[in-house]
Amino acid sequence: MIQTLVEWFSEVHGWLFQTVVHPLLYFFSLGDITEEAFDGTEWFLIGLLELALLFLILRPLESWIPVKQGIDPAARRIDFLYTCIHRLGAFTLAVFFVLDPIFDAIAGHLRLYGVVHFNLETLWPGVTDIPLVAFVIYLVVLDFFDYWYHRSSHQFGWWWGLHSLHHSQADMNLWSDNRNHLLDDLIRDVYMASIALVIGVEPSQYLLLVVVSRMQQSLQHANVRIHFGAIGERLLVSPRFHRTHHAIGVGHESGGRGKLRGCNFAVLFPVWDILFGSANFSKEFAMTGVRDQLPPPQGKGRDYGRGFWAQQWLGLKRMLEFSRKKAS
């Protein structure tokens, strides 16, 4: 079955490249990027499959067991736009492939001085070189670094100015994972790709790691009344656990009103929150958003923007504003 699906995907990939992408490259005299375009076509198709699976699986669940009734259609549409940009544009993977030759050149230079490039798969010969074991190790290590990246975005005013766009969605839905400022996305993608290259992740491995991670993150953000139980909640981030991270006040002000901190920063595995004291296993399905977007007297009535460009522009303004003073 799996082999059949892989063969079908390869046929579609080849057909799309030969009948659409390659003629366009020829027409615009872009033959020098044929190899990159071939890879890009594969990423595009994987993104399409992700979108289809998310819609077919999570959309019915959102209708069946929603946390919040009456999601604003405009809010869902703008989040879907972010998802299309993120998944179909393959920006995350493009950053990895841009950095790959740079890291290869650095590694080659270091070898001249006897410094060998580190690779996690060499830690325990016979065990860590098993593909599934290596994949799990890479997933855990990358998630550890992602936890600290995420937590840091809640600690510094300028960074929170960007990241707060993600938290400003009061109508969280299956597309909300990718509702981020483009600059924040760029910083994170460079950071994660650099970590992956340092620990020896191969391109094909990175592609699979990215897909698995973002599919699980889409589930976390879905408007579904789902949790994994007392034990499961501590093994894998659930929609309820992550919704607490997005809870008004609690998710970004756990140190008190106006004090940036937050809880439940784990991207995949709650163990990091447990180990570093940031876990909150609330059993409530909280309302989401940022306190300062609430109308007075609860908040300041801050505008986070309704459209894509407005949200991006206001994010830059908040970054500059919050870098000069403490955000609240």
128 contacts 120 by C-beta, under 8 angstroms: yes
pLDDT at res. 138: 93
Distance CA 85, CA 91 (A): 8
R_g over Cα of the chain: 21
Show contacts of 261-266: CB within 8 Å, 24+ apart.
Answer: 261/154, 261/155, 262/151, 262/154, 264/237, 265/147, 265/150, 265/151, 265/154, 266/143, 266/147, 266/150, 266/237, 266/241
pLDDT at res. 256: 56
Instruction: Return the ∠ at Cα 307 (arms to 301 and 308), rounded to 5°.
Output: 115
93 contacts 323 by C-beta, under 8 angstroms: no
pLDDT at res. 51: 95
Distance CA 297, CA 56 (A): 41
Closest CA to 261 of 168, 170, 158, 153: 153
Query: What region does 234 belong to: left with phi over 0, alpha with psi -120 to 50, or beta?
Result: alpha
pLDDT at res. 95: 78
Please report which helix (H) or strand (E) contains residue 165, including its range.
helix 157-167
Distance CA 325, CA 262 (A): 19
pTM of the model: 0.89
Closest CA to 210 of 58, 96, 82, 53: 96
Distance CA 227, CA 241 (A): 7
Query: What region does 70 belong to: left with phi over 0, alpha with psi -120 to 50, or beta?
Result: left
**Coil, strand or helix: which one is 288?**
strand
pLDDT at res. 99: 75
Distance CA 265, CA 217 (A): 12
- Whole-number Cα distances in Å, 216 to 128, 160, 246, 309: 24, 23, 16, 27
β-pair partners for 288: 247
Show contacts of 254-260: CB within 8 Å, 24+ apart.
Answer: 254/278, 254/280, 257/291, 257/328, 258/326, 258/327, 258/328, 260/154, 260/155, 260/156, 260/157, 260/160, 260/326, 260/327
Each residue's pLDDT tens digit in the chain (328 positions)?
Answer: 666 877 787 888 888 878 888 788 787 777 777 877 788 888 889 999 999 999 999 999 999 999 999 899 999 999 999 999 998 876 777 777 777 777 677 666 656 665 556 677 777 776 677 888 889 999 999 999 999 999 999 999 999 999 999 999 999 999 999 999 999 999 999 999 999 988 888 888 888 999 999 999 999 999 999 999 999 999 999 999 999 999 998 878 766 565 667 899 999 999 999 999 999 999 999 999 999 998 888 878 899 999 999 999 999 999 999 988 654 4
Which positions ≥6 away from 253 have C-beta within 8 Å? 259, 260, 261, 262, 291
Phi and psi, residue 155, nearest 5°: -105, -25
